[in-house]
């Protein structure tokens, strides 16, 4: 039996940030589980879903703002870098932040699945673990592959301890500290 090797990232976080700054505008990079990942550019339906969620959050919680495509310091010891499709924070809490924000003010992270081969692992496993490890109270996954919305809550020990999965078209409860209900019927037209 071959002994397990210690976790070794591809590069340091500092080297990743330098690489990301030099990337063309049409390429978004993330640093997840010590590996450089190319995040797909959103298609129109993806963008419509994020815009819909921004509008709903503003209607129900005008004291909060859902920022699209926000860079976050994730994972244990903030050694990961994820560009969330949406991050919900109190208004003004990103003032003075650079490209990659600490997650203390983040109440919710949101991902919308993309049509690429890595979406299953990245959005359903790697990102929830990274967001949980960073202490973000809620992670919402809008999954266009299986037409569901999954709400992950109670981050503890690098994992979300509870998750509720509902089909698109149903009411989805987002608990405290967000405390809103999403009527996901409008999302059905953007799932394709």
Residue 78 lies in a domain: yes
How far apart are alpha carbons 89 and 190 in whole angstroms?
Answer: 25
- Taking the whole predicted model, whether its pTM rises above 0.85 is answered as yes
Q: What is the pLDDT of residues 80-110, one digit of tens each?
A: 999 999 999 999 999 999 999 999 999 999 9
Q: Which pLDDT score is estimated for 168?
A: 97
How far apart are alpha carbons 45 and 148 in whole angstroms?
Answer: 15
Please count the other Cβ atoms lying within 10 Å of the Cβ belonging to residue 3: 5
Residue 4 lies in a domain: no
Q: What is the CATH number of the domain that holds 77?
A: 3.90.1570.10
Residue 8 lies in a domain: no
Residue 6 lies in a domain: no
Residue 140 lies in a domain: yes
Residue 153 lies in a domain: yes
Residue 138 lies in a domain: yes
Q: Which pLDDT score is estimated for 171?
A: 97
Q: How many helices (H) and strands (E) would you count in the chain?
A: 4, 11
How far apart are alpha carbons 168 and 183 in whole angstroms?
Answer: 9
Q: How would DSSP label each residue in 34-65?
A: TEEEEEPPP-HHHHHHHHHHHHHHHHH-TTEE
Task: Report cis status (omega within 30 of 0) of the bond before 15.
Answer: no
Report helix, strand or coil for 124.
helix
Contact 57, 67 (CB under 8 A): no
User: CA 10: distance to chain centroid?
Assistant: 22
Q: What is the mean pLDDT of residues 70-78?
A: 90
**172 token code pair:** 């989805």
Q: What is the mean pLDDT of residues 8-26?
A: 88
Residue 25 lies in a domain: yes
What residues have CB less than 8 Å from 42, skipping those under 6 apart?
A: 50, 85, 112, 114
Domain ranges, residue 107: 13-190
**152 token code pair:** 């992950």
| Residues forming beta bridges with residue 74, ordered by sequence position | 80
Q: What is the pLDDT of residues 108-160, one digit of tens each?
A: 999 999 877 777 678 888 899 999 999 999 999 999 989 999 999 999 999 99
The H or E element spanning position 145 is none
Burial (CB count <10 Å: 0-12, 13-18, 19+), residue 138: buried
How far apart are alpha carbons 83 and 171 in whole angstroms?
Answer: 27
Q: Structural domain tally of the chain?
A: 1
The H or E element spanning position 121 is helix 119-121
């Amino acid at each position: 039996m071959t002994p397990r090797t210690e976790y070794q990232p591809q590069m340091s976080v500092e080297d990743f940030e330098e690489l990301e700054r030099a990337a063309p505008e049409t390429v978004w990079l993330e640093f997840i589980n010590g590996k450089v990942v190319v995040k797909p550019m959103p298609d129109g339906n993806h963008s419509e879903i994020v815009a819909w969620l921004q509008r709903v959050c503003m209607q129900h919680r005008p004291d909060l703002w859902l920022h699209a495509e926000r860079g976050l310091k994730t994972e244990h010891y903030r050694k990961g870098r994820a560009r969330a499709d949406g991050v919900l924070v109190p208004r003004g809490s990103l003032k003075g932040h650079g490209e990659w924000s600490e997650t203390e003010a983040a109440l919710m992270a949101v991902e919308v699945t993309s049509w690429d081969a890595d979406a299953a692992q990245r959005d359903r496993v790697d990102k929830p673990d990274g967001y949980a490890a960073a202490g973000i109270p809620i992670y919402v996954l809008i999954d266009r592959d299986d037409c569901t919305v999954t709400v992950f809550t109670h981050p503890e020990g690098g994992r979300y301890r509870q998750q509720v999965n509902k089909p698109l078209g149903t009411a989805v409860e987002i608990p405290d500290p967000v405390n809103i209900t999403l009527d996901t019927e409008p999302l059905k037209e953007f799932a394709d």
